[in-house]
Amino acid sequence: MSIFIPSTPQALAGQVAALCQSRPSVTVVAVDGADCARPVELARLIGSAVEALDRPSNVVSLHDYVRPASLRFEFGHEDTLSYRTMWFDYEALDREVITSSRDRQTWLPKLWDETTDRSARSTRETVHERHVLIVAGPMLLGRGLDFAITVRLDMSEAALRRHTPSAAVWTIDALLEHHSAVTEPVDLEVRYDHPARPAVRAHLGR
């Protein structure tokens, strides 16, 4: 039975990069974590570790794939069901990043600007041979998305409440509900209550 091994963010990033090396073609990685876990920061560390192995990489933030405010806030600004089901455009993420990078050798860095609530008007970019795209954000797993490698940053309810800004505390129940409903196996399960001191359990060969 695998156990949790103490690690560091840099070592965790290197561990993910090493997993990418076992997949020589275009590889899409998921870093699933609440916003307060700062999954994009870890994704950038992974990208740097990947590039040190002479592979191109890019990070995709799920917040660049939000739905328009008219849909996000249709039932109010703090509706937990909306946050789970309508806030992020997972279908567009699949179409424009995950599937497109493999089938069309292109990907779209941004779909929607969350701040201006307008189209990001992003230009499609070419996916190079052995490219690694790292998608980071909350509630990525359990959506039927075909990621090659999955990393889940687990925080206890106490840690979520400790790290989440007061304006976003309402999202915690949605995060916990989604997490409890997901049975999808992951490659790397990470205890992330203390992001500077993660503990990692690998589920390789899942």
Global pTM reads 0.95
Q: Which domain holds residue 78?
A: 5-202
Other beta carbons less than 10 A from residue 72's beta carbon: 19
CATH code for the domain of 176: 3.40.50.300
Per-residue confidence at 62, pLDDT binned at 50, 70, 90? very high
Q: Using an 8 Å Cβ cutoff, are 143 and 65 in contact?
A: no
Per-residue confidence at 1, pLDDT binned at 50, 70, 90? low
Q: Using an 8 Å Cβ cutoff, are 93 and 82 in contact?
A: no
> What pLDDT, on a 0 to 100 scale, did the predictor assign at position 79?
95
CA–CA separation, 13 and 28 (whole Å): 15
Domains identified in the chain, total number: 1
204 CB burial (10 A radius; 0-12, 13-18, 19+):
exposed
> What pLDDT, on a 0 to 100 scale, did the predictor assign at position 203?
84
Q: What is the DSSP letter of 123?
A: P
Per-residue confidence at 81, pLDDT binned at 50, 70, 90? very high
Q: Using an 8 Å Cβ cutoff, are 177 and 84 in contact?
A: yes
% of the chain with per-residue pLDDT over 70:
98
> What pLDDT, on a 0 to 100 scale, did the predictor assign at position 204?
65
> What pLDDT, on a 0 to 100 scale, did the predictor assign at position 74?
93
Tell me the mean pLDDT in the region 63-71: 97
